[in-house]
Amino acid sequence: MSAPTGRSDARHGRPDARPARPRVLTIAGTDPTGGAGVAADLKTFTALGAYGMAVVTAVVAQNTHGVRSSHVPPLSVLRDQLAAVADDVTIDAVKIGMVGTREVADEVAAWLDAERPPLVVVDPVMVATSGHRLLAPDAEDAVRRLVTHADVVTPNLPELAVLVGEPEAATWPEALAQATSLAEHARVAVLVKGGHLAGGRSPDALVVAGPEGRVDVTELDAPRIATTATHGTGCTLSAAVAALAPRRPDLVEAARDAKEWLHGAIAAGEALRVGSGRGPVDHLHAAPGLGERRFTAEAWDAIADVRAACDDLPFVRALGDGSLDADEFAAYVRQDALYLAQYSTVLARAAQLAPTLEERAFFARGASSCLTIEAALHEDWLAAHGPRLDVPPSPETLAYTDALHRAAATGDYAVVVAAVLPCYSVYADVGARIARRLGECGTPEDAHPYGAWIATYSDPVFLAASDQARAYADRAAAYVSRATRARMLAAFVEAARHELAFFDQTSRRDLSAATRERVGSASGQR
Ligand SMILES: Nc1ncnc2c1ncn2[C@@H]1O[C@H](COP(=O)(O)OP(=O)(O)OP(=O)(O)O)[C@@H](O)[C@H]1O
Ligand SMILES: Cc1ncc(CO)c(N)n1
């Protein structure tokens, strides 16, 4: 076994740069329902980050109930496919599955002899999960020969018995003894699969014969999953070993990681709802974000009601047309200053949790500018109107900041970013619409009593920060589980609802005597 070679491509006389991914070939049969054979192998290669290639040995009409027919094309078809791949592509690992006939097994063995790929995994497929034979009875000797060309062989218990010429092991120790015998005689690592044993476990073991009669046995135990999703588990395991081995220090680590990943795929299989028999495993179980809608697009739609309600609020309408009572604006600005002081600490938490320097810097700058704005609101605006504006946070302000602190306390970056997002995007949205309306009326911003406020939230700098925060939320969402994505959405929607209540708070309350004082110049920032 070796790392992806990056060796020079002798046929073309040009050096191959080190490949971005191991180039892994499967030589196997088909399954039109996509759970076994080359379809399972290619899905496995892709899910585990390898570049997958496939040569077809047999065309099999099968589904989750069983095999209906199997057709092995003329040998020249196999030979041409193998040559087409090998003439052009440097191969880092090969997985061999169903060979079907003696002739195919011997042809593949001869090709391995000639090409000597750095890693060969043979899954000695003989009988499908459904009990149908996938190997001609006279081909067993040829498969025994093929196994001697492999680095690893992955038999289940009936296949192991055929390979060693003994009755099928009835216990796990018997299986280990047979695997040891095969490892010693065929000089091949044996990944023996205990999936066919009765009991609550599904044990596998990697048996490697070393020098001077030493045998290393690494047991890979797992609880048995009660499921119907076991079609193609053998294909998937051997393909996973081929995909991972080029990127692991040894076969033990490759086999361990392959088994762990397969376990998750088996557990997630039934949810695919593919077929009514023994269904496939979910090869994409560890890549939950694939094909999902952008988080922020989904989140934005989820708060369509909030956005419409914001536009209809008397406060927002009056702010937009300049008719808003200055006392009401002063009360709002006071609450906003209190809010920003808390929001700043939550942005600082996002900075602390952020996975990249870029995001850390972005949220740290955000935390800092909130404090600057908060201080400016006090100095330039609120202080000018005396201590009577110095009221405590309102229930709406507290409810919003409590929700943000709860999100921060999860310690989950994706959730924190989702929670802080509405403060950017709801304001950018409302600000942009007010500015557009003013533009349509031809009102210059400096002639508007709240022109400074409107200018802040329709400012390209603020809009760029809002876009950036959205991009970070989408990036975070791409790597999270379904459950975390749901928590992100809940945090976003909750924060957006608090934005609505926050806008609405002054009009829903009798302004306190403290803010009743007329305020001359009305301008502010959030
Ligand atoms: N119900 C299960 N729960 C957990 N692991 C399982 C289960 N069934 C099979 N496995 C695992 O799946 C892998 C394949 O095992 P199995 O013995 O079924 O091979 P196979 O018979 O060659 O597979 P196939 O069904 O593709 O013919 C092994 O790692 C085994 O431990
Ligand atoms: C093509 C093919 N290979 C292997 C198996 C073993 O499950 C299968 N059912 N079909």
Residue 437 belongs to some domain of the structure: yes
Distance between Cα 296 and ligand 2 center (Å)? 41
Pairwise CA distance, residues 121 & 386, whole Å: 79
Ligand 1 pocket test target in 43, 230, 244, 262 with most atoms within 8 Å of CB: 230
Ligand 1 touching residue 156 (CB < 6 A): yes
Measured in Å, residue 247 CA sits from the centre of ligand 2 at 26
> CA 404 to CA 418: how far, in whole Å?
10
From the list 43, 95, 193, 259, the catalytic residue is 193
The answer to whether residues 365 and 263 belong to one domain is no
Which of ligand 2's atoms lies nearest the C-alpha of 232?
7
- pLDDT tens for each residue of the chain, 526 residues long: 444 444 445 444 455 578 999 999 999 999 999 999 999 999 999 999 999 999 999 999 999 999 999 999 999 999 999 999 999 999 999 999 999 999 999 999 999 999 999 999 999 999 887 778 899 989 999 999 999 999 999 999 999 999 999 999 999 999 999 999 999 999 999 999 998 888 899 999 999 998 888 999 999 999 999 999 999 999 999 999 999 999 999 999 999 999 999 999 999 999 999 999 999 999 999 988 888 899 999 999 999 999 999 989 999 999 988 899 888 888 888 899 899 999 999 999 999 999 999 999 999 999 999 898 877 776 766 666 655 566 899 999 999 999 999 999 999 999 999 999 999 999 889 888 888 888 777 776 677 888 888 888 888 888 999 999 999 999 999 889 889 999 999 999 999 999 999 999 987 665 444 444 433 333 333 4
Is 167 domain-assigned? no
193 noted as active-site residue: yes
Name the residue type at position 432: A
Q: 129 alpha carbon to ligand 2 midpoint, in Å?
A: 8
Token pair listed for 211: 């020098």
Q: Does the beta carbon of 59 sit less than 6 angstroms from any atom of ligand 1?
A: no
φ and ψ at residue 292, rounded to 5 degrees: -70, 150
Ligand 2 pocket test, candidate residues 26, 70, 95, 98, most atoms within 8 A of CB? 98
**Which amino acid, residue 370?**
C
| 318 shares its domain with 238 | no
Task: Tell whether 234 is covered by a domain.
Answer: yes
Range of the domain at 301: 295-516
If you search the block for the tokens 């504006």, which residue do you land on? 389
Out of 100, 234, 320, 431, pick the active-site residue: 234
Domain end residue (candidates: 272, 307, 342): 272
Q: For this structure, is 411 an active site residue?
A: no
pLDDT at 437: 82
Concerning whether 233 is annotated as a catalytic residue, the answer is yes
Whether the predicted interface score ipTM is above 0.85: yes
Which residue among the candidates 29, 100, 194, 232 is catalytic per the annotation?
Answer: 232
235 pocket-lining for ligand 2 (C-beta < 6 Å) = yes
Residue 355 resides in a domain: yes
Residue owning the nearest CA to atom 24 of ligand 1 = 234
Q: Could you tell me if 235 and 349 lie in one domain?
A: no
Which CATH number does the domain housing residue 94 bear? Answer: 3.40.1190.20
pLDDT in the model for residue 2: 43
Residue 64, ligand 1, Cβ within 6 A? no
- Cβ-in-10-Å burial (0-12, 13-18, 19+) of 411 comes to exposed
* Residue corresponding to tokens 């409107």: 454
Q: Which residues of 497-520 are buried (b: 16+ CB within 10 A; e: fewer)?
A: bbbbbbbbbbbeeeeeebbeeebe
Ligand 2 centroid distance, CA of 29 (Å): 7
Q: Are 91 and 120 in contact (CB under 8 A)?
A: no
Q: Is residue 186 part of a domain?
A: no
- Judge whether 500 and 357 are in contact, CB under 8 Å: no
Domain count, the chain: 2
Task: Find out whether the beta carbon of 262 lies less than 6 Å from any atom of ligand 1.
Answer: yes
Within this chain, do residues 306 and 452 fall inside the same structural domain, yes or no? yes
Task: Give a yes or no: residue 70 inside a domain.
Answer: yes
267 and 310 fall within a common domain: no
Given a contact cutoff of 8 angstroms between Cβ atoms, the answer to whether 190 and 207 are in contact is yes
Based on the domain organization, do 317 and 242 belong to the same domain? no
Q: How many angstroms does the Cα of residue 68 sit away from the middle of ligand 2?
A: 12
* One domain, residues 262 and 316: no
Asked if residue 312 is part of any domain, the answer here is yes
State the alpha helices, DSSP H only, in 119-171.
Answer: 140-147, 157-164
Same domain, 362 and 318: yes
The three state secondary structure string of 434-499 is: HHHHHHHHCCCHHHCCCHHHHHHHCCHHHHHHHHHHHHHHHHHHCCCCHHHHHHHHHHHHHHHHHH
Rounded distance from Cα 147 to ligand 2 centre (Å)? 18
The verdict on 388 and 268 lying in the same domain is no
* Short-list 77, 104, 100, 89, CA closest to 23: 89
Residue 169, domain member (yes or no): no
At a CB cut-off of 8 Å and minimum separation 6, what does 205 contact?
A: 175, 176, 179, 191, 192, 194, 217, 218, 219, 220
Same domain flag for 380 and 242: no
Same domain, 502 and 380: yes
The DSSP secondary-structure symbol of 139 reads G
Q: What is the CATH number of the domain that holds 377?
A: 1.20.910.10
Both 480 and 394 in one domain: the answer is: yes
Domain end among 238, 272, 306: 272
Mutate to test the pocket of ligand 1, among 233, 259, 278 (most ligand atoms within 8 A of CB): 233
> pLDDT at position 166, please?
96
pLDDT score for 385: 62
Identify the pLDDT of residue 5: 45
180 among known catalytic residues: no
